[in-house]
Amino acid sequence: QKMISFILMVNKQGQTRLSSYYEWMDMAERVALESEIIRKCLSRSELQCSFLEYRGFKVIYRRYASLFFIVGTKADIDVRKKLGSSSSNSSNGNSSSGMRKMGDNQSPENYENELGLLEFIHTLVETMDRWAGSICELDIMYQLEHVHFLLDEMVMNGYVTETNKSNVLRLIDLMDRESKKNEGMFR
């Protein structure tokens, strides 16, 4: 099971500036989910918690200036339901098989730390700030390839792989220097 299901960067008007999905989802379902989650996040006040559960996803978001950074992961399965069903099976003397059957019908639990993902969002924004000066919507729009590359260096296949800003930016700097070398050859 993936740690992160999707990452969205959205402006205050609700327009998606970047979306990256790490689980397959039908395009119509993706568009509907995205618009509903964006609407939910934009309608919440700054005094409300930055975590919410919606349609089987745990959504963690944070607003920086005019941009919302939204991370979605699978929601937790209610462990109490499992415990309640296993205690009824234990009276029959087959508690282990009851737990096995329950586990076969449901996907594994997701115990992702919301504060850890909130800290990841902050690290992502800090990395983007160091790269672009002060990250803004225009940086994302006009340098989308670089932003995707930066995000791909930090998250791979739904798992956070790199949080060291210097390591991520070193690779982007190398890519920029190599592209400038190639531009010089054709002049």
- pTM score of the predicted model: 0.77
Give the distance from CA 98 to its chain's centroid. 34
The CA distances from residue 2 to 5, 19, 105, 141, in Å, are: 6, 16, 18, 27
State residue 92's pLDDT score.
45
Lowest mean pLDDT among 15-29, 42-56, 58-72, 83-97: 83-97
Residue 111 has pLDDT above 80, yes or no: no
Q: What is the mean pLDDT of the chain?
A: 81
pLDDT in tens, 156-182: 999 999 999 999 999 889 888 888 876
Write out pLDDT tens, residues 70-106.
999 987 765 334 444 444 444 444 443 333 343 444 5
Q: How far is CA 162 from the centre of its chain?
A: 14
Q: Are strands 51-54 and 57-64 parallel, antiparallel or unpaired?
A: antiparallel
Report the SS3 class of residue 94: coil
